[in-house]
Structure 1
Amino acid sequence: MISEGPTDGYSKRARKLSSRKLSNMEIADQAVQTGPTLSFGPGDLKSLSDTAHNDALVIRALVSNYDVARIFVDSGISVNVLFQETINQMDLGEYKVEPVVKLLFGFIGHAIRPIGLINFLLTLGKDRTIKTRIVSFIIVDAPSAYNAILGRPDMNTFMAVASALYQKIKFPVGNEVGEVQGDQKFF
């Protein structure tokens, strides 16, 4: 498990702003929210190669307009991670990296100092049911079988629900439901 990543920013100012947003969200949540119901059922299992699996949910998505495979979806962590090797392969040219002072634990058995924080566009879905948001990724220079890890904060940003059992992520797009199918071929 990866821990010690902030869910609300890296500075005192960012944490205060996050606290204010939460207060405002509580008021907004009292209003009736409309949109599609996100659910999983037997029809979602038809696309799986093996319904008796224990696979992690690994997807592919567009990150800064690059098709990135092997994105591990882990709603138990409080940060999104993009590995340095992946960024190198994306050939982005110059990009802005913000400093990060917090250490992360859980990658290689001891604390690791992130390289920094970067904001990229992340696009989930396809055709009419795509959704794009700006996502903050912590850049880490560590070995990994994955190119990125998508954590809890931005699953919430997409209002997405992930299911490892059904190997899918579902999220609202207007009155429709967008989906991202897990990639069992990775295993």
Structure 2
Amino acid sequence: MVDQIIGPKRLTKLLMDGGSGLNIMYAKTLDMMGVDLMRLRPIQAPFHGFMPRKQAMPLKQIDLPITFGDPFNYRTKTLTFEVVGFPRTFHAILGRPCYAKFMAIPNYTYLKLKMLGPHMVITVGTSFQQAYECEVE
């Protein structure tokens, strides 16, 4: 779990999932962020593995900037998200495409994500308490 800025908002419940081949954004999160729905692009490709033994169809796709770091040492890149209408625990799921774009290295034991910044290494993470609360939810 990380707490980062996506588009115009800081989202506090982003799941970093190294097993996911997609970046996923929930429709309710987009509503909460106040994102203009005209920015959504249609998509016709289903994906698998989100729900056991079923294929899922994203509603649309959107490109949003995401920022990691602090005001003195940060990186911003634009990621493509598949927008889904499922119930949510998290605000979004950041998968391998995010890791690759930022060349980030996860450490699941310590709930940390590290990447090279313009001045030094950027380390982001969360507390074990916040991760536990999301797991319970």
TM-score past 0.5 threshold: yes
Distance of 2:121 and 2:80 partners within structure 1: 24
Q: Is the 8 A contact 1:73 1:149 kept in 2?
A: yes
User: Structure 1 pair 168/115, CA: closer, same or farther in 2 (3 Å)?
Assistant: same
CA displacement, residues 9-49 of structure 1 (integer Å, 9 cap, x when unaligned): xxxxxxxxxxxxxxxxxxxxxxxxxxxxxxxxxxxxxxxxx
Distance of 2:101 and 2:6 partners within structure 1: 15
Distance of 2:119 and 2:11 partners within structure 1: 27
CA displacement, residues 107-126 of structure 1 (integer Å, 9 cap, x when unaligned): 34322210111000000111
Segments of structure 1 that go 5 or more residues without pairing to the other structure are: 1-57
1:2-151 paired onto structure 2 within 5 Å: 58-109=1-52, 110-151=54-95
Distance of 1:86 and 1:138 partners within structure 2: 12
Instruction: Give the superposition deviation at 1:180.
Output: 0.8
Distance of 1:132 and 1:186 partners within structure 2: 24
User: Structure 1 pair 106/75, CA: closer, same or farther in 2 (3 Å)?
Assistant: same
Instruction: Provide the aligned C-alpha RMSD in A.
Output: 1.4
Instruction: Give the superposition deviation at 1:175.
Output: 4.5
Q: Which has the higher strand share?
A: 2
Q: Is the 8 A contact 1:60 1:183 kept in 2?
A: no
Distance of 1:160 and 1:182 partners within structure 2: 16
Larger Rg: 1
Identity level (%): 23
SS in 2 for 1:169: strand
CA displacement, residues 76-104 of structure 1 (integer Å, 9 cap, x when unaligned): 11110000110111112344112211112
SS in 2 for 1:135: strand
SS in 2 for 1:111: strand
